Amino acid sequence: MVELRENEQKTLQTLRKLSGTASIGQIVETSGLAHTAVMRAVLTLSEKKLVTIQEQKQRVITLTAEGEHHAEAGLPERRLIKSLTKLGGKAPILEAASHASLEKEFLPIALGWLQRKGWATVKEKGKVLEAVGQPLEGSDEALLSLLHQKGSLIGDELKGDMQAAVSILKGRKLLEIREKTKRIIQLTQAGQKLVEKGLQIVEEVSQLTPELIVSGKWRQVKLRKYNIAAPVVATWPGKKHPYARFLDQLKEKLVALGFREMTGPMVELCFFNFDALYTPQDHPAREIFGVYSIKSPQYGDAEKYRQAIQNVKKTHENGWKTGSTGWRYRFSPKETRRLILRAHGTTMSARTLLNKGLEIPGKYFAIARCYRPDMVDKTHLSEFNQVEGIVVREDLTLRDLLGVLERFATDIAGADRVKFRPDYFPFTEPSVELVAYKKGYGWLEFGGSGIFRPEVTLPLGVKVPVLAWGLGVDRLFMMKAKIDDIRYLFAQDLDWIRSTELT
């Protein structure tokens, strides 16, 4: 005879009311039991072959913060075409945008989608906007509105144009898709027979109270057995973020390979970020779209680097003792003192080469926080990490560098294959870009590397070859954890943080 507890009997009876098949949510709603109570009962009933559990993967679609904004205010192109219509169908772009109260960052997006949807064209050398055709509501706007009303939708339940709209809005980063598991519970033949015989639910008592003991009612009630094997509510103790744990593991591996850690400030002199790395002072990377400049103070103290600055100055102007002709311009000592946020980890390599404590031969690494005003997308952030490394030794060759890079990609990121592409950097020659492949993930660019030019090493007092690389450690982790969007590394998704395991 099958012995069932109170909640198990209630779950079976509820399943019968629901025609023998129901989701966990339906059982909870119909029976009035707590979700955890139903889950425990279902697992026990499954072990006793009275029910089966089927798992279905669902894509749950929700709006992002920007998607919510556009759902309330209207898509940028809709707001702009409405304004244009009120202005007579033709108006200067800036006037139409101002009339629509369109935020500055959404104007390029609105113009692109207006033309893509065939609602308007740009004329008079990109200054005037003219409406064409009928701006009918599309499936993207319909889906945006529906998501705003309902909060979330199941992707697999959408059909036709709505499925296409999902791809469009996802590409515009207005919605996000998460995978959710839906559990369907179904009575087995044995479970059906047991329910048909009739179940008499006897209330069980899980705790003896003074009242039950004094009144003697404890003799009449059924005491619930304590099942030490019963599933319990999941608990999540505190632990390190998966990415922080990965960085710790990376440091441990590098130290085990004989590397020493380099350090350096986040607010850096242009001398170490550019000049010492043989980057000319008129290089585009120094402009406002390439680095973050410090507003106050604008310049730092570089007095203790005076001799090195003089060497670098001569190298830039005429090549100094390096055998080069230099960049042939007048070097500005003031520009070399300008303060910026560190744009790449190679600044610490330059500092280490200039340090009196430099050991030759020696191997050094740094995991550096870097800052660039890049457009944020699935592969770029304005604040990111780089793993920087140098090897200083006589008789080093390009073959040594490729071996180090391959070891990184396979041991650290778990890559299956690697490729090397010729590249260019002002401070290395030859220069190589590392690209790696992982089955089920695809190809991913990791960053650049090379052998420091004499124009870098000699002014800093180093006369032996130096291998150098700066790889995107964020991307190393993406490949290892099979993440396709770099922004997800810093998202506050507790489910992902709790479930992600890295070996």
Task: Give the model confidence (pLDDT) of 463-481 as tens digits.
Answer: 999 999 988 888 888 877 8
Helices 107-116 and 76-86, interaxial angle, to 10°?
80
* pTM over 0.75, yes/no: no
The pLDDT confidence band at residue 338, using thresholds 50, 70 and 90, is: very high
Q: Where are the alpha helices (DSSP H) in 87-207?
A: 93-99, 107-116, 139-150, 161-171, 189-197
Residue 234 has pLDDT above 80, yes or no: no
Angle separating helix axes 35-47 and 24-31, nearest 10 degrees:
120
- Give the residue from 337, 323, 345, 331 showing the smallest Cα distance to 264: 345
CB 377 within 8 A of CB 443: no
pLDDT at 335: 94
pLDDT at 196: 80
What CA–CA distance (Å, rounded) separates 232 from 39?
9
pLDDT above 90: percentage of residues in the chain:
33
Using CA atoms, how far apart are residues 165 and 147, in angstroms rounded to an integer? 12
pLDDT at position 412: 77
Question: Which residue, among 91, 40, 75, 261, has the nearest Cα to 175 in the 3D structure?
Answer: 75
Question: Could you identify the residue written with the tokens 């396979």?
Answer: 410
What pLDDT band is residue 58 in, cutting at 50, 70 and 90?
Answer: confident
The three-state (H, E, C) secondary structure of 275-340, written as one string: HHHCCCCCCHHHCCCCCCECCCCCECCCHHHHHHHHHHHHHHHHCCCCCCCCCCCCCCCCHHHEEE
Query: Per-residue pLDDT for 454 more than 90?
Result: yes
What is the per-residue pLDDT for 2? 62
191 pLDDT band, cuts 50/70/90, is: confident
CB burial of 53-79 (b: ≥16 within 10 Å; e: otherwise) equals eeeeeeeebebeeebbebbeebbbbbb
- Give the per-residue pLDDT at 317: 95
pLDDT at position 278: 95
Residues 308-334: tens digit of each pLDDT: 999 999 999 999 999 999 999 999 999
Residue recorded with tokens 């380099």: 262
Specify whether the CB–CB gap between 41 and 117 falls below 8 A: no
- If you write DSSP's letter for every residue of 342-359 in order, what string do you get? --STHHHHHHHHHSTT--
Sign of the torsion formed by the C-alpha atoms of 224, 225, 227 and 230: negative
How high is the pLDDT of residue 25? Answer: 86
* Domains contained in the chain, CATH given: 65-176 (1.10.10.10), 245-265+342-499 (3.30.930.10)
Task: Summarize the confidence of residues 72-80 as an average pLDDT.
Answer: 91
> Who has greater pLDDT, 339 or 7?
339
pLDDT score recorded for residue 204: 67
Percent of the chain predicted with pLDDT > 70:
96
Judged on CB neighbours under 10 Å (0-12, 13-18, 19+), 82 is middle
- State residue 321's pLDDT score: 92
Residue 233 confidence (pLDDT): 64
Q: For residue 236, give the amino acid letter.
A: W
Amino acid at 181: T
> Quick one: tokens of 453?
């030019």
> Residues 32-59: what's their mean pLDDT?
86
Pick from 66, 76, 19, 15: nearest CA to 45: 15
Burial of 16 (0-12, 13-18, 19+ CB in 10 A): middle
pLDDT at residue 202 greater than cutoff 60? no
Q: Is the pLDDT of residue 503 over 80?
A: no
| Higher-confidence position of 503 and 417 | 417
- Which residue shows structure tokens 């390439």? 290
Is-contact 5 43, C-beta < 8 A? no
Condensed to tens digits (0 to 9), the pLDDT of residues 247-297 reads: 998 899 889 888 999 999 999 999 999 999 999 999 888 887 789 999 999
| Residue 207 reports pLDDT greater than 80 | no
3-state secondary structure of 365: strand
User: What confidence score (pLDDT) does residue 301 get?
Assistant: 94
Read out DSSP for 395-452? T--HHHHHHHHHHIIIIIS--SEEEEEEEEETTEEEEEEEEEEETTTEEEEEEEEEEE
Residue 322 is predicted with a pLDDT of 93
The two three-digit tokens of residue 353, written as one number: 């080469």
**What is the residue-averaged pLDDT of the chain?**
87
pLDDT in tens, 85-144: 888 888 898 898 889 898 888 888 988 898 888 898 888 877 888 888 778 888 999 999
Q: Is the pLDDT of residue 57 over 90?
A: no
**Band of residue 231 on the pLDDT scale cut at 50, 70, 90:** low
Mean pLDDT, rounded, for 50-69: 88
Burial 381-392 (b: 16+ CB within 10 A, else e): beebbbbbbbbb
